[in-house]
Chains A and B, each alone.
Chain A
């Protein structure tokens, strides 16, 4: 059976994924534009995908790649609905600043 070539250790990919993930999370908390928050979420999803693919290679399981495929599909769906929401919010409030949306306070 043909071995999968391993040149860069899996750990490095995981470290990169962690860093990207944390940056995405930071973006979600720091940025106030709804679109940028959204893009940060995409960044986090990508970091996750990277980790999954790295593990798939590590264990020689194609299932991981299939999972990434599903994640991408769900992300696409999420983007479609999310952007529709943003457009709707913008239409009604003339702004996509999430700090202006706090009617749900307790």
Chain B
């Protein structure tokens, strides 16, 4: 069920308007990767607030732990050792998780009414009680975020702490971050704030510093400040120009239209043919000849 105090912008597999009488403030999370020290307090806070305990994994020889997102790990820190320029080693750490797209590929793909909700404030939330476990959200997501649980076959991901936000609190990760790298507020304010941060980074030699708020998905409600905004892929494969795959559009929009017209035409064609031409039958005289 939707949270009563959060109005709904879009609801998966629903063709009628959703409840939206209030004018909700558009919110966002701004993750300033130039301030992140990779302490994983956000990961811990996420587990703590959402009461999730992933299975203990194995050491892969890197700091990434757990190694990937899962139905019980909705955010993970990804550590990349890169050389953006020859002889210049940098350790780029990114908090990975749902980006809360304005145009969510998961929601477009989802066939179950109400299993994915986009609130007016920008949060994209999964409602597992309506989820049928088809995994289409995984196919639709341009960031490879949703994960199906092996326990219950439902899809899970970061909720942007919709339950906390609904009662006026910041997400758990933002509250726990010791360096202030994760900011929470209105999207408008954070866009303005990011301008100052980027100017500061540029002054300190990061000429290509910039904001990651990709327009291909209509902007996101989790944004990054990147030192190398010209090369987002340096940050453990952050997509350069994410968007809903043309295949998903073909599948979810064009196929539906073609099918509607085609099936309608086949049925109407049959009825018209029968009414104008009559049945293909053999008359009694022909039957009598044998």
A and B pair up: no
Interfacial residues, chain B to chain A (CB-CB below 8 A): none
